[in-house]
Structure 1
Amino acid sequence: MRTAVLGGGHGCYAAAAELSEKGHEVWLWRRDANAFAPVTESRAIKVKDRHGVRTVAIAHPTTDLAEAVTNAELIVIPLPAIAQEGLAGQVAPLLRDGQVIFLPPGTLGSIVFAQAMAKAGNHADVAIAETGTLPYLVRKHGPTSIVVSGYATRLPTGIYPSRLAGHALPILQRAYPSIEPIEDALSGALMNAGPVIHPPLILLNAGPLEHFESWDIHNEGTQPAIRRVTTALDRERMDVREALGYGAPHFPLADHYDESGDEWMYGRRAHGELTDSGDWREKIDLQTHRYMREDTALGLALLVSIGRWAGCPTPVASGLLAVASAVTGEDLYAGGRTLEALGLAELDRAGMDKVMTDGL
Structure 2
Amino acid sequence: MKIAILGGGHGAYAAAADLSEAGHEVRLWRRDAAALQPVIDSGSIVLKDARGVREVPIALPTADIGAALRDAELIVLPTPAIAQDFIARAMAPHLVDGQVVFLPPGTFGSYVMARTVREAGNRADVAWAETGTLPYLARKHGEREVNVTIRAIRLPTGVYPARKAAQAIDTIRVAYPSVHGCGDALSGALMNAGPVIHPPLMVMNAAPLQHFERWDIHNEGTQPAVRAVTDQLDRERIAVREAFGHGGPHYPLADHYDNDRWMYGDAHKQLVKSGDWRENIDLHGHRYITEDTELGLAFLASAARHAGVDAPIAHGLLAIVGGFLGRDLRQGPRSFEALGLAELSADALRQRLHDGE
- The answer to whether the superposition gives a TM-score over 0.5 is yes
Do structure 1's residue 308 and structure 2's residue 305 form an aligned pair? yes
Normalised to the residue count of structure 2, the TM-score between the two structures is 0.99
Asked if the contact 2:187/2:246 (under 8 Å) is kept, the reply is: yes
Task: Please give the alpha-carbon distance, in whole angstroms, between the structure 1 residues aligned to 2:117 and 2:85.
Answer: 11
SS at match of 1:267: coil
Task: Please give the alpha-carbon distance, in whole angstroms, between the structure 1 residues aligned to 2:274 and 2:253.
Answer: 20
Write the mapping of 1:115-194 to structure 2, written as runs, cut at 5 A.
115-194=115-194
CA positional deviation for 1:328: 1.0
Task: Please give the alpha-carbon distance, in whole angstroms, between the structure 2 residues aligned to 1:33 and 1:86.
Answer: 16
SS at match of 2:329: coil
Write the mapping of 1:158-307 to structure 2, written as runs, cut at 5 A.
158-259=158-259, 263-268=261-266, 270-307=267-304
Asked if the contact 1:160/1:184 (under 8 Å) is kept, the reply is: yes
Q: How many residues end up aligned between the 2 structures?
A: 357
* Between 340-349 and 17-26, the greater mean CA deviation after superposition: 340-349
Task: Please give the alpha-carbon distance, in whole angstroms, between the structure 1 residues aligned to 2:33 and 2:86.
Answer: 18
Query: Equivalent residue for 2:13?
Result: 13
Task: Please give the alpha-carbon distance, in whole angstroms, between the structure 2 residues aligned to 1:312 and 1:82.
Answer: 27
CA positional deviation for 1:335: 3.0
Task: Please give the alpha-carbon distance, in whole angstroms, between the structure 2 residues aligned to 1:169 and 1:333.
Answer: 33
Show CA shifts across 1:4-35 (max 9, x none).
00010000000000110111100000111111
Aligned residue type for 2:294: A
Asked if the contact 2:331/2:337 (under 8 Å) is kept, the reply is: no
Aligned residue type for 2:269: G
SS at match of 1:340: coil
Unaligned runs of 5+ in 1: none
CA RMSD across the alignment: 0.8
1:320 to 317, 322, 331: 317
CA positional deviation for 1:334: 2.5
Task: Please give the alpha-carbon distance, in whole angstroms, between the structure 1 residues aligned to 2:86 and 2:343.
Answer: 25
Asked if the contact 1:70/1:96 (under 8 Å) is kept, the reply is: no
CA positional deviation for 1:336: 3.9
SS at match of 1:93: coil
CA positional deviation for 1:329: 1.0
CA positional deviation for 1:120: 1.8
Asked if the contact 1:256/1:266 (under 8 Å) is kept, the reply is: yes
Q: Which runs of 4+ in 1 moved over 6 A?
A: none
Aligned residue type for 2:198: H
2:345 to 328, 337, 348: 348
Query: Equivalent residue for 1:39?
Result: 39
CA positional deviation for 1:51: 1.2
Task: Please give the alpha-carbon distance, in whole angstroms, between the structure 1 residues aligned to 2:332 and 2:15.
Answer: 30
Task: Please give the alpha-carbon distance, in whole angstroms, between the structure 2 residues aligned to 1:314 and 1:334.
Answer: 16
